[in-house]
Amino acid sequence: MGFLNKIFNSNTTPKEEKVLPWIALTSIDQLSDIEQKSKDKTQTIFKHSTRCGISRMVMSQFVDAFDIDANIDLYYLDLLNYREVSNETGYKFQVLHESPQLLIIKNGVVVTHASHGAINEVDLSKFV
């Protein structure tokens, strides 16, 4: 494989991986904190299924497009490991569950949400 990489990738350098300031959403108690914090700062929740190819693709596109300097808190919810948190998120913020899904919360309520490819069409700067 090294030989083929040298032939086909001789002029390319490895792409630097972008790391977002994710906050793990692992507890139902955090939802009240998110609601409270949203009164001062936009909160986002990215619901992700680690076994879904579409979710992985959308997550990758979201990470690539995300402005690191955006003044928002960015929560990551692993749906498979924290199903009860995902369910409670839907109840608390009155949003039907989908995966992947992005929720944007301001002043205690979801001001917009999107799922699948529509996630990458959301202009986060409108909500900061």
The enclosing domain of 94 has a CATH number of 3.40.30.10
In a domain, residue 7? The reply is no
Report pLDDT for 26: 98
Q: What would the mean pLDDT of 58-63 be, rounded to a whole number?
A: 93
pLDDT, tens digit (0-9, with 9 covering 90-100), for 97-118: 888 999 999 999 999 999 998 9
Domain count, the chain: 1
The 10 Å CB-count burial string (b at 16+, else e) for 31-57 is beebbeebeeebbbbbbbbeebeebee
In a domain, residue 26? The reply is yes
Identify the domain containing residue 72 by its residue range: 20-127
The predicted model scores a pTM of 0.85
Report pLDDT for 9: 59
Question: Residue 22 — very low, low, confident or very high, per pLDDT cuts 50/70/90?
Answer: very high
In a domain, residue 69? The reply is yes
Q: Choose between 123 and 37: higher pLDDT.
A: 37
User: What is the token pair recorded at 39?
Assistant: 């009164």
Report pLDDT for 5: 56
Q: Choose between 18 and 4: higher pLDDT.
A: 18
In a domain, residue 54? The reply is yes
In a domain, residue 46? The reply is yes
